[in-house]
Amino acid sequence: MPLRISHMNTSRSRFDVIGQLGALRRYARSLTRDGADAEDLVQDALVRAYERRSSFRAGGNMRAWLLSILHNAFIDRARSRRSEAARLERVAEVTPQSLDAPQDHAVRLAQVRAAFMCLPEEQRAALHLVAIEGLSYQQAADMQAVPVGTLMSRIGRARAALRALEDEPDEAPSLRIVGGHDVRRP
């Protein structure tokens, strides 16, 4: 004997949806072309029907009324999915296509730091004072008690060594010192 959902009030007509489940499932499967989506759609339609049960006319065609609710639920879902897809497209248009993994930045920063620490002390100090502390060439030269030209030369050699790291990003950080004591002249 099929279960019947009925109101407590006996003056209202019986609200029997169990007998309509087969038709609802078939129609939902036809619309969604997927068993799980069809079951979700039937459930949504039944919830809507229960919420709107007072709008069902006694003596009306229960099957047509339920199929109509199911159809409208399907249309609402399709609209919602299209709207969500459009929002995602707009987001995709304004976001970068790819981002470097955060660990890549950490590795790169560690490489630059290691290369900076490998610089000769006078180059490292000169570059630090100007590039990191923001001192002028004259101020940094005065602090180190060297002529401005010497300071600029040290900074130039330090930057050249660090640029060499940029020229070879896939290799381990190695410095090529330009000028100074590391270069042998024939």
pLDDT digits (tens, 9 = 90+) for 120-143: 988 988 998 888 888 899 999 998
Question: Rounded to whole angstroms, what are the CA distances from 130 to 5, 56, 127, 152?
Answer: 82, 81, 5, 10
Report the candidate in 32, 101, 18 with the shortest Cα–Cα distance to residue 66: 18
User: Do 102-182 and 18-94 fall under one CATH topology?
Assistant: no
Quickly tell me which residue has 């930057």 as its tokens: 159
Query: What pTM does this model have?
Result: 0.45
Q: Which fold has domain 102-182?
A: Arc Repressor Mutant, subunit A (1.10.10)
Q: What is the DSSP letter of 132?
A: I
Q: What are phi and psi of 99, to 5 degrees?
A: -125, 145
Rounded distance, CA 177 to CA 173, Å?
A: 13
Looking at residue 105, its pLDDT comes to: 78
Choose between 24 and 183: higher pLDDT: 24
The Cβ-side half-sphere exposure at 133, using a 13 Å CA radius, reads 13
pLDDT tens digits for range 171-184? 444 455 554 444 44
The domain ranges of the chain are 18-94, 102-182
CATH number of 18-94: 1.10.1740.10
Report the candidate in 159, 160, 140 with the shortest Cα–Cα distance to residue 151: 140
